[in-house]
Structure formats: C-alpha cells, structure tokens
Chain A
Amino acid sequence: MMSSYAELYPVNNFIGDIVRSIFPEPAAAIINGLLALLSLMALVGSLGAVLIFLERKVSAHFQLRFGPMRVGPHGLLQPLADGIKAIFKEIIKPAGADTFIFFLAPLLPVSAAFLVLAVIPFDHHLQVADPAGGVLYVLGVSGLSILGILLAGWASNNKYSLLGAMRSGAQMVSFEISIALLMLLIVMLSGTASLRGIVLAQQGTIFDWWIFKLPFLGILAFIMYLVASTAELNRTPFDIAEAESELTGGFATEYSGISFAMFFLGEFVNMFVAACLVTTFFLGGFHAPLFGLPVIDPLLNLIPGFLWFFAKAFLIVFLYMWFRWTFPRVRVDQLMYLEWRIMLPASLILLMLSGLFVAQGWVG
C-alpha cells in the first residue's frame, strides 16, 4: 500500500528528493510520509502557541491594554508558561461522567484540524497529499470537530455542557451547508476539486484571484464565507456554544488541565485552518500578489510562496480576531434566522448567478 500511496502523492520537494537519494524506494516512501506527518505535528504545536499569544496581544491592544508583558520580551514566552501550567494541572473528571468519551472528546477537534492541514497547499510542493476530491475531504473531516464538541458536552454530565454542545452542534451543522455551497461555487469556477488545482486556477495577477476575478460576486462570496466560517468556528459574535455569561463555558465547562488545553488548541488551530481555506479559495493561495507592473512584480516573486501563504492566512486570522472584539454576541434564534433565512437562500442565488457568469464567459 505504501508504494501506491507514494505513487499517488509523492513528496516532490527537495527534502523528498534527498530522502529518495539516501534510501531505496520502499523505505523512502515510508520515511517521506513519516517526515510529512512529523512536520504537520510540529506545525500544529507551534501554531497553537503563536495563535494564543496573538489572540491575547490583539485583544489587549483592542482594549488599550498591553497584554502579557512579564514573561520574556513583550511576553513572548507566555504561551510556553501557559502550556507548562496546563500540563501540570490536575484533570478533574466529574462524578458520573463517561470516562472513555470524556477523555476521547478533546482529541477530536485537534485531529480534525490536523487532518485538514494535510491537504492544504502551502507552496507548490509543500503539501502532504493532494486528493482529487480535496474539498470533499475537507468537508467530511471537519465533521470530526462537531463530533468532539457534542461528545464532550454529553460526557461531562453537566446541564450547561449539554446545552452548549447541542447549540454548537445545531449551529455548526447549519452553517456547514452555506460553507459547502460556497466551496461548490469555487469548485465550479476552478473546474477542479483538488485544493492545489484551485490555487493553480488563480495563477496570474491579483485580479485573477477568485475574490476579484468574479465580478462583484467574488467579494460577496468572500464575505459570506468569512461569516459562515466564523459561525462554524464558534467564535464571537457566534460563540453561543461557549457563551461565558450564560453557560459558564458551554461544552468545556467541566474540562481542566491538559484536556481543556486540547480544546483550546483545537479551537485556535481550526481558526488557522479556516483562514488557510479562505486563502486557498479566494486569495490565490501561495501566489504572490502581482499587479502586472514591470519592476515590482519580479521583486514580489522573489519572496517564497509559503511566506505569502502564511501572510495571507494570518491576515484572515487577524480579521477573525477583529470580529471578536467588534461585534456583540447574537442570540440563538437570531443565529438560526441568519443561516436558514438569509445565508442559505443568498448562497443558493449566488451559486446560480455564478453559474450564469461561467456559462456566459463573464469571469475575469
């Protein structure tokens, strides 16, 4: 199986070539696969620290505070201190909680993020696997994080947790419909469901990115995707699942120590994953923002693609954080109204209009 895996998704970058030059073929494929998984793990771990630090700093500056300043220069080592504290704290399991599910649930959101990261094209050859139906894979695997939240809420044996979990399950399932429809729009425009193919379809200047290439509709789809993914991530203004003021923390109420930290990590890495998907679908992925100018374009092209990718992704992450400190939380019924009465019809109409645009050749 490993050999056919290597045929399907060979590691084509220079690390893969080095491994292949040192080891014979069957071993090289296995080592390449393991290296790819290890690098993903390192990415997830370091992203967690970076994003939590960013969130604290950004929120602090939005509120005219400094945020963490004591540990290291400008509080740079604060995530490390937080992590060590979380590891050494005791995990308290409530009486009557279901042990197996209680400890299984925190792992699911992180593993969903991990699995989606495997198909994200960070650069031309910086992608663990590129299945032809990548979009379908992303949609399917992200269901795992809903599963984790539902199970956590039930296993905690706490009414607040169960209420939060049910709210969040309903919310994520509803908004996934809009997300799927908007992904379908992008698949229709690109003519492929592979994430790498979608990025390659946006090759050229900044006006070839789907956000600008589709006249008017592109930017509309981009905004709708941002709203829907914020709701899917359970972030403020759609954080009715956690709702500290009503539900004392929702599904994560009973969690402490490292299992709470896993939820936290999953939430933040999922935010980054959503930003990666926005970058891939609308912002041209790893392509440099070229303007068709003679002098500047070659200079912009000098910067490697993965740096562009991360810059765009962190811009979107900053947008998510900005939302959080700008909008107040909506009510449950307002949220459902937004999805079923506004977003769903709007995304269906958008899909039909884009179909018309593609059929008439008005794209680009």
Chain B
Amino acid sequence: MNDFLFYVIASAVALLSLLAVTLPNLLHGAIALVGSFFATAAIYIMLQMEFLALAQIALYVGGIVVFMLIIILLTNDLGVDNSLSRVSAGRQVGKGVIIAGFITALCLFFTSNPSLLLRTTEHRAAPVSIDEIGIRLLSTSNGFIVPFEVVSLLLLAALIGAVVLSRRENKKEEKP
C-alpha cells in the first residue's frame, strides 16, 4: 500500500514537473508547477516530515507561485507561439538524457555500494515535530540562533525597503 502510493505520487511529481517546463503556455506551466508542489508535499507527509510539507505548501503555493502568477499576468507575451526550433529542442533533450543517465549511474553506484553514502539514511528517520524545530532554531547552545537572527534582519531590511520604495514622493507637491 505504502509503496504503491509512493509510486503514484512520485510519478505525478515527475509528470507535473515535466509539464511545467514543456508546456508552451507559461500560465499552464505555472499551474502544473502548483500541482507538482502539492505532490511533493504529499511525499514529505509520507516521510512523516509534516513541518516540511506544510512549509512547502505555505511558501511555494501560498507565496512564490502567487508572485510568479502576478508577474506572468503582467507580461504581454505568454510564449504561446515561442515553441523551440527542432535543433535547439534536440539539444535540450540531449542534455536531459545525459543528466538523467548521470544521475541514474550515481544511484546505481550508491545502491550497489551502500557503505559509502546510504548508511546515514538506511534507518528510517524519526519524525521531527514542529516544537523540536522551533526549540532547535532558537536555542543558543547546539542551535541555529545566529543564522535565524541574520535571516530575520535580512527580511526586516527587505520589508522596510519595500515600504520606502512604495512611499509617495511629496517633493513635487511642496514646491508651490
């Protein structure tokens, strides 16, 4: 049951990702991308990584895709007529085949020599609760407090920058 579901979801991820990059209409591609994000979240839930799945949905579907859509809607040319020429399409396919072959070879190598890489992951990872993640992020010993603070400073700067940029210029009105 578990394996069967995994294959269904994994093939959905593969298919939707493929659609996202091959569909000529950008907006259709974006919708396929949303689908693939959801399917990826489903895989995270199967691995019992609930927080990762929720973050995936909240960040990608709720945030990034919406901004992508706004950008796409503001572009005039949706790329409907911009299909690749046969030569360059062939090149892209060739690159894809080479990369796929390389990754398959890597997987085969590591599955036949499990002592090299897979030892850390061969035990099923214990599910990490959202509380543990929060405590670990903010703890001063053995935690991630410094990167957390740096990131929050960066985000604050971005937020203030956005407010400053969108502020109305009052200089011209003051002249008369």
Contact = CB atoms under 8 A, between A and B. Distances in A.
B107 to A, nearest CB: 24
Given A2-B1, A141-B62, A136 B55 contact: yes
Interface string B136-161: 00000000000000000000000100
A227 interface: no
A39 to B, nearest CB: 22
Nearest to A101: B27
Given A100-B28, A143-B61, A151 B130 contact: no
A173 B63 CA distance: 8
Given A101-B27, A140-B61, A4 B66 contact: no
Given A1-B5, A147-B69, A340-B166, A132 B28 contact: no
Given A132-B130, A139-B62, A143-B61, A150 B73 contact: yes
Given A2-B1, A133-B51, A165-B73, A173 B66 contact: yes
A104 interface: yes
B77 to A, nearest CB: 14
Given A101-B27, A132-B129, A150 B55 contact: no
B66 A137 contact: no
Contacts of B15: none
Contact of A104 (B31, B74, B131, B159): B31
Interface in B25-69: 25, 27-28, 31, 34, 46, 48, 50-51, 54-55, 57-59, 61-63, 65-67, 69
Nearest to B9: A1
Contact of A143 (B46, B51, B62): B62
B157 to A, nearest CB: 14
Nearest to B3: A1
A101 B57 contact: no
Contact of B70 (A26, A98, A169, A341): A169
Interface string A97-123: 010110010000000000000000000
A154 interface: yes
B57 A140 contact: yes
Contacts of A173: 66-67, 70
Contacts of A140: 54, 57-59, 61-62
Contacts of A169: 66, 69-70
Interface of B: 1-2, 5, 25, 27-28, 31, 34, 46, 48, 50-51, 54-55, 57-59, 61-63, 65-67, 69-70, 73-74, 129-131, 159, 162-163, 166
Given A133-B130, A146-B62, A166-B73, 12 more contacts: A1-B5, A104-B31, A131-B54, A132-B129, A133-B51, A133-B54, A136-B54, A141-B57, A143-B62, A147-B66, A153-B73, A169-B69
Which A-B residue pairs are the 3 nearest by beta carbons? A143-B62, A140-B58, A140-B57
